[in-house]
Amino acid sequence: MRAPEPRSGSSGRRMGKSLGVRFSGYSFGSVRVDGVTYDHDLIIDRGKIRKRKKGASRKFRGAYGHTPLSAAEGIPWRCRRLVIGTGAAGALPVMKEVHEQARCRDVDLVIVPTAQAISVLAKTTTDTNAILHLTC
C-alpha cells in the first residue's frame, strides 16, 4: 500500500519537519525506535516519542470491545499526514470523530496495521506524525 503524498497549501501549521526516527524492529507488543525498545503504544509527534495515554478513550471500550482511538486523546495534529498503526491484526478501532477532525484540519489519515505503518513511516520524511498500537 502506498501512502498518499502530503498536500500543498497553507494551513498555519509548521511544515517541513522531518519525522526523524528510525525503526529497527517490531513484533507483537514491542517496537524498537532509535535503539530503544518500547512495550507500550507510542505517539510520534514531530520526531519526539511519548507514550499514548488512552485514559480519555476508555469510556468507549464497551461499545467497541477494545479501547478505541478517540478524539479525546492527545492526538498529534500538527502535521499533514497522520499514520495510525492499528496493531498486529489491525484491531484498534479509530472512532468517527478522529476521521472528522482530520478532515477539518486538512490532515491525511493513513490507517493500517502497525507493521505496514512502520513501513510507511520508514519512507516518510516530512510533515508526518504517528500513533502506533503495538498489540492486537
Report CA torsion sign: 101, 105, 109, 114: negative
The length of the chain is: 136
For each of the chain's 136 residues, which pLDDT tens digit applies? 434 443 333 333 444 455 678 898 899 999 999 999 999 999 999 999 999 999 999 999 999 999 999 999 999 999 999 999 999 999 999 999 999 999 999 999 999 999 999 999 988 768 999 999 999 8
Report CA torsion sign: 83, 104, 70, 99: negative
From CA 14, how far away is CA 44, in angstroms rounded? 16
Are the CB atoms for 85 and 118 separated by under 8 Å? yes
